[in-house]
Each structure stands twice: as structure tokens, then as C-alpha cells.
Amino acid sequence: MADKAYTHSLREFVEQRVMPQGDDIDARDVYPVELARELAVQGFSSITLPTEYGGGGHEFSYAVALFEEVSVGSAALGVSLLTIFQAQTIIRLFGSESLQQRYLPRFAQGMLSSYALTESAHGSDIRSLDTKATRDGDEWVLRGEKHFITSSSAAEFFVILAETPVGVSAFAVPRDVPHLTVYEGRNSATFGLRNGPHMNLRLEDVRVPLDHLIGTEGKGVRQAVTTLDYSRTLAAAISIGIARAAFDAAYAHVARRVAFDQTVLGFQGIQWYFAEALADIDASRLQVFHAARALDTHDDIDRYGSEAKLRAAQVATRTASMAVQVCGAHGTMVNSPFGRYLRDAKTYEIAGGSTEILKNTIGKYLMRGAKAAATP
């Protein structure tokens, strides 16, 4: 478990620095560069990275606490950190020694990054891609387009999935390589998780050194999915943060608001909404911490990460919807944060592993013959 001093310092940072900016980041749809760098300087964005690379070397309970706390203030900041985490994870798990030495310390210094799998014709299914990579002497040459890439408006580094003659493979691509264009597409803006437009990348014979192939050629799908198994647990923590923010803001409102000569919270019917939501949030958080422990012990991470994200995303949407309901007209106002919570929560039922894909992953786990899966 993350220690109390750690959670306390995070809460202080979120209250002072993030909460005042949450609505503004969402309204302007901008990547919160300054906040992301501040968190990096304090060691938060590399909290689980081994100390030899300048990271905190902490267990994953510290990471889920980070993602929940930050996302109480701004889920957009949460996803900004998540894409940093995805890029560092795939390199940490699969990258060559030279790639790790070159890039992992830079994450600890605040490098911003994106994780680019999706193409216009390939969303959930990344087993075959239109982006191609071919070997030319001592370089890889990449050509194609990636769409809908979170954090790409600010990213300084990309992990890009491309198909080589032996199959889908993962590549490390710095933003400043020649012939890489990042541009805003027609569909880059979303109504939720607005940390800047989810831009498109155009690669026109982008050249990177041979060691920028991450892991094994042709094993990119497995590596990318394993990385998603890690990040899904953190995405679940972001959803808990959204649920908590919606709960707290609604609770504060109904505790003050008077109707029929008593506070709105005084009505038993309203208390029941909160009782359900609290039970949901507490149960879901336990599930997230369980999934975090599974990451530390490498124990069925596909199952536990998917279960955690599946449930937490639904809990966040339910809680955000409840928050609007109990706040009445106030809940629907543009200058209240409830619309943001609802939009962020719903968007996370799709991004980073949709509800259906998560159920498929759990289904595959069951098909592996996990007969006693429900036995603790």
C-alpha cells in the first residue's frame, strides 16, 4: 500500500495545483504540459520505474494512488500521465539494453510521450496494420498514418506499431525525426478526456536506428497488449478518481441545498443514491488495488487489469450520472463540473480498451480453462 505521507503530498498538490485548472483544461482542450512536468520533477511520472533509471522503484499501489488522486482534479491530466506510463512500460518490459539506457532516464526527467496503435481502418483490431516498416541497412523506415493518439499534441516521443514483413512490431520514434508530421484530423477532438486533440501522425519514410525496434520483430501485438494489461489497471484508477470527484461535488451540493424545509441530503431517497455510489466506489477501488498487486507479482494481469477497468469505468459513469441527477438543474449547468465528469467517465468506457474488448479478454482467460476462477 502507498504510505500516508505519499498520498497526503499528492492530495495537497492536486488541491493546490490541479483542481483549480480542471475545468479550464477541459474547456480549452489542451495538454497540461506544466502540470505533467511538475509531477515528473517530483518523481511521480516514473514512480514504478527502477531506480537505476532514475525512477522511484515503487510497487504499483503507488501508481494507482497517483492516478486516482490526480484524476480527482483532472482526468485529462490522468490520461496525460498514462500515455507516458505506457511508453515507458513497453520499453522497460521489452526494449533492448541500449534503448532502455537511452530513453528510460528521460521519462524520469519529464519526457512527454504517446502510445500509437490505432489507424483509421484499425481500432480494436491491431493484428494487421496499414503502417509498414522495412529494414534498410542499419535503419528501419516507417511509412503510414496513425489516428486518434492521446497526448500527441505535446508528446516528444512516440511508441508506434507498424507491420514488418514478419508481422506487427513496435518502434520507438522521437518526435523530432524528419518526415514525421503531427496534425489535427477531422475527428481528433473528443467530448471527454480532453487533454488536447487526439492528433494523427503521418510517417513518410521516417528513419530510426535498428535498436529502435522494441523487443522482437513480429511480436508487437503481444507486447502492446501486455503493456495495455498494465495500463488498464491505471486507467481503472483514473475512473475511480472521476467517480470520487463526482461523488464529492454532488455530496457538497446536496448537503447545502434546501428543499421542502430540509437539506436535499436529508431525503432518504437521496441518501440511497449516495449509499449505492459509495459501495460501488469502495468495491471498485479494492479491485484496482488487487489488480495493482497482480502487476507486482505478475499474476494473471490480463484478467485483473481488464476486470478492474471494466468495473471502474462503469462505476464512474453511474456515479457521474447520479451526481447530475441529485444536483438537479445545478448538475446540468455548463459552469458546474458535472458535465465534465460524465463525459470523461463515458469516454473511458471506450478508450484504452472498450467494455466489449475487456470482456473478450476476460473471456479468453476463461477459455484457457480457468475453471475455479471465482474461487479466491
Residues interacting with ligand FAD, by CB under 6 A? Answer: 83, 114-118, 123-124, 148-150, 190, 193, 198, 347, 350-351, 354, 356-357, 360
Q: How far is the CB of 90 from ligand FAD (least distance, A)?
A: 12
Cα pseudo-dihedral 22, 25, 29, 33, rounded to 10: -130
The residue sitting closest to ligand FAD, measured at its beta carbon, is 123
Classify 173 as helix, strand or coil: strand
Pairing of strands 167-174, 180-183: unpaired
Q: Which residue stretches of the chain are H helix? A: 4-13, 22-28, 33-41, 60-73, 75-94, 97-108, 220-256, 268-297, 301-326, 329-332, 338-347, 355-367
CB of 314: closest distance to ligand FAD in angstroms? 14
**Rounded least distance, CB 69 to ligand FAD, Å:** 21
Least distance CB 313 / ligand FAD (angstroms) = 12
Alpha-carbon distance values, 43 to 58, 110, 185 (Å): 11, 9, 33
Assess contact for 133 and 141: CB atoms under 8 A. yes
321 or 355, CB closer to ligand FAD? Answer: 355
Specify the residue, 116 or 206, whose C-beta has the smaller distance to ligand FAD: 116
Q: How far is the CB of 215 from ligand FAD (least distance, A)?
A: 17
What is the DSSP secondary-structure string of 274-300?
A: HHHHHHHHHHHHHHHHHHHHHHHHT-S
Q: Which is nearer to ligand FAD, 75 or 246 (CB)?
A: 75
What is the smallest separation between the CB atom of 143 and ligand FAD, expressed in angstroms? 17
Contact 63/234 with Cβ under 8 angstroms?
yes
Is the Cβ of residue 164 or residue 190 nearer to ligand FAD in the bound state? 190
Q: Are 200 and 184 in contact (CB under 8 A)?
A: yes
* Helix/strand/coil for 251: helix
What's the rounded Cα separation, in Å, for the pair 83 and 322?
29
First to last CA, the chain: 20
CB of 8 to ligand FAD, least distance (A): 31
In the complex with ligand FAD, the residue whose CB is nearer, 281 or 345, is 345
Measured from the CB atom, the residue of 19 and 350 that comes closer to ligand FAD is 350
Query: Residue 199 class from Cβ within 10 Å (0-12 exposed, 13-18 middle, 19+ buried)?
Result: buried
Q: Tell me how far, at minimum, the Cβ of 357 lies from ligand FAD, in Å.
A: 5
* Distant-in-sequence, close-in-space partners of 361: CB < 8 Å, separation ≥ 6: 302, 303, 306, 353
Nearest residue (CB) to ligand FAD, 237 versus 327: 237
What's the rounded Cα separation, in Å, for the pair 240 and 236?
A: 6
Nearer to ligand FAD, 123 or 167 (CB): 123
